[in-house]
C-alpha cells in the first residue's frame, strides 16, 4: 500500500490503483507528448525500460512501434527488381 499526503489528507492506494492513475494521466496527454514522455522515461536506464514494458505495455508499444519497412519487409520496388533479376538470370 502506498500512502500519499495530498493537501494535508492521506490517500491510500494499491499498486494497481497507482498504475491505473498514472496510465490515466498519460492518456490525458496529447499523443505526441505521451510518446515523448514514455520514451524519456524508458530511456533513463535498462531497468526503467523493462519497468515501462512490463507495467505499461500499451503505452510502450505506442511509443516504440516499428514500421513494416523497419521490421524487415521490403518495399514493392525492391521485390519487383528482385523478381526481374531472377527472371533474367535463367
Structural domain span for residue 43? 30-68
30 pLDDT higher than 90: yes
Band (pLDDT 50/70/90 cuts) for residue 83 is confident
Which contiguous run of DSSP H or E holds residue 11? strand 10-13
Report field, pTM of the whole predicted structure over 0.75? no
Mean pLDDT score, 21-37: 93
Mean pLDDT score, 13-32: 90
Is residue 3 domain-resident? no
Backbone angles phi, psi at 87, to 5 degrees: -70, -40
The structural domain count of the chain equals 1
The packing angle between helices 31-42 and 15-28, to 10°, is 130
**Torsional sign, CA 25, 29, 35, 39:** negative
Where on the phi/psi map is residue 14: left (φ > 0), alpha (ψ -120 to 50), or beta? beta
pLDDT at 86: 62
Is residue 46 domain-resident? yes
Is residue 6 domain-resident? no
Is residue 47 domain-resident? yes
pLDDT at 50: 92
Is residue 56 domain-resident? yes
Amino acid at each position: 500500500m502506498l500512502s500519499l499526503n495530498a493537501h494535508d489528507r492521506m490517500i491510500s492506494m494499491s499498486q494497481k490503483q497507482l498504475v491505473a492513475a498514472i496510465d490515466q494521466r498519460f492518456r490525458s496527454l496529447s499523443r505526441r507528448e505521451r510518446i515523448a514522455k514514455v520514451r524519456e522515461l524508458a530511456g533513463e536506464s535498462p531497468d526503467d525500460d523493462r519497468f515501462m514494458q512490463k507495467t505499461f505495455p500499451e503505452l510502450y508499444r505506442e511509443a516504440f512501434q516499428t514500421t513494416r519497412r523497419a521490421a524487415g519487409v521490403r518495399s514493392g520496388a525492391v521485390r519487383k527488381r528482385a523478381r526481374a533479376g531472377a527472371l533474367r538470370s535463367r
